[in-house]
């Protein structure tokens, strides 16, 4: 789906991805973690890649591949790769940095793929073998 | 149709527990980047108006929050600490509790089962 970079759109996209995550077999915790990571990734795009602009495009797609739920988030922002920013020690009493920590801990794999005109974030969440339903597949436009 | 999170709603309003000198506030909504600025406004207003030693936030009707909401809570905590106050979080829902644990904030805020427990804590 394509949405504008308005924070008001985050919840709708998160819920759509959570619905899909549940449908493909992730358990409640996996669904919640995937939803939070989509939220945090979109918020990073809005705040950093688009520097708060509310009218820029964000394309979110999700599909199953090799036993994983794959969620991609494409932006046309400043192209900064958050994974390459200098690491700073996480201090719970200071705001910031928590979103990336969530991605690193909650997703099975996270890759930032530079696009020349922006960034493509690819997040994968392993679906437990016993829960793979296979009833839902393919990309959601 | 607006399917995003609505603005933050206070439930039913802020009240002051005279006995303990606590300010108690309840909220109703998921909280993400869309409405976390509302949370910030409410909390900073509460701190400016009451300068409480104890701010109790009942989150029983907050099923979800993201890191932007956590950042607001941390900002409020920094502010209240300067005047020797503390923030108590009560009635945490599972997703909120999980995020606080990841952020290692469950040991920095005072987490209580409910308002009564928060008010009874020393």
Q: Is B3 a domain residue?
A: no
Enumerate the residues of chain B whose CB falls inside 8 A of the CB of residue A96: 71
The model's pLDDT over A12-67, given as tens digits with 9 standing for 90+, comes to 999 999 999 999 999 999 999 999 999 999 999 999 999 999 999 999 999 999 99
Non-local CB neighbours of B22 within 8 Å, separated by 6+ positions = B16, B52, B53, B54, B55, B56, B88, B118, B119
Most A CBs within 10 Å, among B67, B73, B87, to test the A interface: B67
- A92: nearest CB among B32, B75, B105: B105
Average pLDDT over residues A83-99: 74
> B21 to each of A19, B46, B95, B101, B116, how far by Cα in Å?
44, 13, 30, 28, 14
Q: Decide if B74 and A40 are in contact by the 8 Å CB cutoff.
A: no
Chain B positions touching A7 (Cβ under 8 A) are 4, 32-34
> How close is the nearest chain B Cα to the Cα of A133, in Å?
25
Residue A81: what are its φ and ψ, rounded to 5°? -90, 110
- Indicate whether B2 belongs to any domain: no
CA distance A134 to chain B (A): 27
Domain that holds residue B105: 9-120
CATH of the domain at A56: 3.30.565.10
A122 falls within a domain: yes
Residue B100 lies in a domain: yes
Cβ of A11 within 8 Å of Cβ of B105? The answer is no
Q: Is residue B1 part of a domain?
A: no
- In the stretch 24-83 of chain B, residues with CB closer than 8 A to chain A read 30, 32-34, 66-68, 70-72, 74-75, 77-78
Tell me if the pTM is above 0.95: no
pLDDT of residue A133: 61
User: Whose CA is closest to A60, among A9, A111, A133?
Assistant: A9
* Domain with A26 in it: 2-85+96-131
Q: How far is residue B5's CA from residue A136's CA, in Å, rounded to a whole number?
A: 27
- For residue A90, being part of any structural domain is answered with no
Q: How far apart are CA B72 and CA B69, in angstroms?
A: 5
Mean pLDDT estimate for chain A: 89
Nearest-CA distance B48 → chain A (Å): 21
Q: Does A131 touch chain B (CB under 8 A)?
A: no
Confidence class for position B86, pLDDT limits 50, 70, 90: very high
pLDDT of res. A139: 41
Q: For residue B75, what is the nearest residue in chain A, using CA coordinates? A: A95
What per-residue confidence (pLDDT) applies to A3? 98
On whether residue A51 sits in a domain, the answer given is: yes
CATH of the domain at B16: 3.30.750.24
pLDDT in tens, B41-75: 999 999 999 999 999 999 999 999 999 999 999 99
For residue A121, tell me if it sits in a domain: yes
Within-domain flag for A13: yes
B78: nearest CA in chain A?
A: A93
Q: What is the mean pLDDT of residues B94-110?
A: 89
Residue A54 in any domain: the answer is yes
Number of domains in chain A: 1
Does B66 fall in a domain? yes
Number of domains in chain B: 1
Quick check: A12 contacting B, CB < 8 Å?
yes
Q: Answer whether residue B21 shows pLDDT above 90.
A: no
> pLDDT tens digits, residue range A110-138?
999 999 999 999 999 999 887 666 544 44
């Amino acid at each position: 789906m394509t949405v504008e970079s308005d924070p008001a759109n985050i919840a709708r996209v998160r819920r759509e991805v959570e619905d899909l995550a549940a449908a493909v077999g992730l358990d409640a915790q996996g669904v919640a973690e995937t939803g939070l990571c989509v939220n945090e990734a979109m918020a990073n795009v809005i705040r950093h890649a688009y520097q708060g602009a509310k009218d820029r495009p964000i394309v979110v797609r999700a599909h199953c591949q090799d036993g994983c739920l794959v969620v991609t988030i494409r932006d046309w922002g400043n192209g900064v790769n958050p994974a390459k920013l200098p690491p700073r020690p996480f201090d719970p009493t200071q705001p910031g940095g928590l979103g990336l920590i969530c991605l690193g801990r909650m997703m099975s794999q996270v890759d930032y793929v530079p696009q020349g005109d922006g960034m493509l974030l690819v997040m994968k969440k392993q679906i437990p073998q016993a829960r793979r339903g296979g009833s839902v597949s393919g990309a959601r436009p | 149709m607006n399917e995003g999170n609505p603005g933050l709603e206070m439930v039913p309003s802020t009240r002051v527990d005279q006995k303990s000198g606590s300010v108690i506030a309840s909220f109703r909504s998921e909280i993400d980047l869309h409405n976390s600025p509302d949370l910030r406004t409410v909390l900073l207003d509460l701190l400016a108006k009451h300068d409480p030693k104890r701010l109790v936030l009942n989150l029983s009707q907050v099923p979800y929050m993201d890191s932007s909401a956590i950042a607001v809570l941390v900002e409020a905590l920094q502010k209240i600490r300067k005047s020797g106050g503390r923030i108590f979080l009560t009635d945490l829902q599972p997703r909120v509790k999980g995020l606080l644990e990841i952020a290692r904030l469950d040991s920095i805020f005072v987490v209580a089962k409910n308002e009564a427990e928060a008010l009874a804590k020393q």
